[in-house]
Structure 1
Amino acid sequence: MERTPLHDYADEIGLWMEDRGLPRMSGRVLGWLMVCEPAHQSADELAEALLASRGAISMSVRMLMDGGSVERFPVAGTRRTYYRLRPGFWLREAEDKARMAGEWRKITERGLQLLSDRDEASRQRVQEAHDMYAFLEAEYGRIRDRWLEHRARKET
């Protein structure tokens, strides 16, 4: 298969993910599924496009499926398994960040309760974390709402 700028783009996403402590191959698979045609690919097609072993593709697809970014995609008339980027994944990613911020806010509230008999200076580290995550929780909610409004306007 001839290399194209789309292959380079998939490699770029792989490097970006690797720089953040994630497997490069998973990033390459994610990047390829973002730009390939058709939008669904079999494991063999992914391996050929990314010049990777079938085992590396299998592990990467499994990780991406566990993370919710990739899903199996049925194609009528074939017994092969195809994969595609899960529709709506990016919104769910932001919603997950909002949920995690809310969980951190609750944990820091417990920390503040545990430190309630201490002076303000002793509570400052937990208070700072609490304030940041309360802010992020609210902002991610606003971002989700604004994104949905934006998409609705764009679709009309």
Structure 2
Amino acid sequence: MSATDVQNPAGHRDEEAVHAFIERIAMTLASFGFPRMAARVLMTLECAEEDGLTARDLAERLDASPAAISGAVRTLTNMGLIFRDPVRGSRRDIYRLPDDPWYEMAMAKGNIYKLFADLTVDGIDAVGGKQTRAGGRVRELHDFFTFVGSEIEDLFVKWREVKAASRAE
């Protein structure tokens, strides 16, 4: 039994609490530079019982303008955190989450560490080599990105194992 089963044994959905949760997460993500409306849309999709929502659904649930929703879903689609599926026989689209959006985004962005590690090699030379003070700092940056890039693959493997075990419960 999970902690959420203990807190809400009847499975009753508290819409006010859901809304407050979405807003808290969105503000927290925004404090780290994530676009706030995109965070609100993402968390609304995370908390929806439906498999996907239209832009109109999102606008109504978030009391937001269509333009704000449009910009947010464009951001989230570009990040790989949501998918857009056309509704057959309509001009509308349904926005939905991939099976594991955070994992998908991390996998897509995982090569960023290799990219930065590769870029820092040129930086070391540009500042006069690793024997200089600046070169030592850039070399440490290179070592950090190389380390994190190699470790993140292991984390992804572990996450898949944890997720599989959790679903088996």
Give the TM-score band, short-chain normalised: 0.7 to 0.9
Q: 2:111 — aligned with what?
A: 99
- Contact kept? 2:114, 2:146, Cα under 8 Å: yes
Q: 1:28 — aligned with what?
A: 40
Is the counterpart of residue 39 in structure 1 residue 45 in structure 2? Answer: no
1:10-29 alignment, distance < 5 Å:
10-29=22-41
- Contact kept? 1:94, 1:140, Cα under 8 Å: no
1:51 Cα deviation from its structure 2 partner: 0.9
Q: 1:70 — aligned with what?
A: 82
2:151 corresponds to which of 110, 123, 139: 139
Distance (whole Å) between structure 1 residues aligned to residue 129 and residue 141 of structure 2: 18
Summarize deviations over 1:54-85 as a string: whole Å, max 9, x none. 22111111111111111113556765321111
User: How well do the aligned residues superpose, as a CA RMSD in angstroms?
Assistant: 2.5
- Contact kept? 1:43, 1:54, Cα under 8 Å: yes
* SS at structure 2 position matched to 1:73: strand
The TM-score normalised by the length of structure 1 is 0.83
Q: What is the letter of the counterpart of residue 130 of structure 1?
A: H
Q: What is the letter of the counterpart of residue 36 of structure 2?
A: R
Cα 1:118–1:98 shift into 2, 3 Å: closer
The TM-score normalised by the length of structure 2 is 0.78
Which stretch shifts more, 119-128 or 95-104?
119-128
Of structures 1 and 2, the one scoring higher in RCO (CA 8 A, sep 6+) is 1
- Contact kept? 1:16, 1:27, Cα under 8 Å: no
Aligned residues: 155
